[in-house]
Amino acid sequence: MREFASGIIIAELGFKQPEETHYFFRSGAENRSLAFYELAADLGDRLHFLFYHPKYTYLDGLDKRYKVTFLESACREPIHRGEQVKEDENGTQILLKTVNLKNDHIDFDNATAISTETFESKPSAQARNGDILLASTGYVSMGKVDIYDRAVPSLVDGHISIIRLNGDYDAHFVAYFLRSHFGQLQIDKWWTGSSGQIELPQANIAKFIIVSCQSLPRKQQSQIAERITRELSEARKLDAKAQAKRDESKQVFEQLVLGRAMV
């Protein structure tokens, strides 16, 4: 159901599902040897060979079918990261880290705490309702996308980018777009770094292309997002049932081991 939900946005935009969804930043390496070339006249401002990977041609169809815009143009303020702060186990304010982004929901239950003084001293690092949070560093973790949906702000650390959209864009639609093959390809394309220290600079995230509100008004964005949200909600219900069954089976196993249950 999750795979189906993640494919809805691609289908709604009129594209075929990709044959391959392998991303370099998820594993840190290509899953097979490859060779390709790029003419010198076609080189841009990047001299990293993976930047010109043939798989990125999938993105070419987007600006042929729709009017596109840079992500920075859809924001009401510049994309920026949170800040590294000192934790306080006795604090009353929430600090969100990359581990708290689950690419499906935000794990507030296991978030760490900071003092109110620290929280109030970092207003630019506070996530507000409707913000998109993007994990921006590290293999595997980079590329996780979640919506901050609480009325009360929380602080985010310096490994998370805050994307705050203007009124022409539905935050859930853009978040689902970034989670989709369209978004993940761009994360795969624009990361920088080496030796295990990779990141997505804010200036590069700003260059991501998304479907413009001129081609897809907010009302249509919201309709697509609502459909995906419904599918993901059903998937979460199945997750809960599966977890309950796992917990039940563990209890039965323990009882059998201890000889307290009939076989």
Per-residue pLDDT of 88-113, as tens digits, reads 999 999 999 999 999 989 999 999 99
**CA-closest candidate to residue 107, choices 78, 150, 161:** 150
Q: Of 10-14, 28-32, 61-65, 70-74, give the lowest mean pLDDT range.
A: 28-32
For residues 155 and 122, the answer to whether their CB atoms sit within 8 Å is yes
Q: 0.75 cut: is pTM over it?
A: yes
Amino acid identity at 172? H
Domains of the chain (ranges; CATH) run: 2-234 (3.90.220.20)
Q: Report d(CA 23, CA 67) in Å as an integer.
A: 26
State the pLDDT at residue 261. 62
State the pLDDT at residue 127. 98
Which H or E element spans position 203?
helix 202-205
Which residues make Cβ contacts (< 8 Å) with residue 176, sequence separation at least 6? 6, 8, 9, 224, 225, 228
Give the angle 42-45-46 at the CA atoms, nearest 5°.
90
Checking if the pLDDT of 262 tops 80, the result is no
For residues 66 and 10, the answer to whether their CB atoms sit within 8 Å is no
Q: Which residue has the higher pLDDT, 160 or 239?
A: 160
pLDDT tens track for 117-129: 999 999 999 999 9
Tokens matching residue 107: 């794990």
Instruction: Give the number of other Cβ atoms within 10 Å of residue 149's Cβ.
Output: 13
Q: Distance from CA of residue 182 to its chain's centroid?
A: 12
Q: Is 220 exposed, middle or buried (0-12, 13-18, 19+ CB in 10 A)?
A: middle
Checking if the pLDDT of 157 tops 60, the result is yes
CB contact burial 66-76 (16+ within 10 A = b; e otherwise): bebbebbebbe
pLDDT tens track for 49-86: 788 888 899 999 999 999 999 999 999 999 999 999 99
Count of residues in the chain: 263
Give percent of the chain above pLDDT 70.
Answer: 98
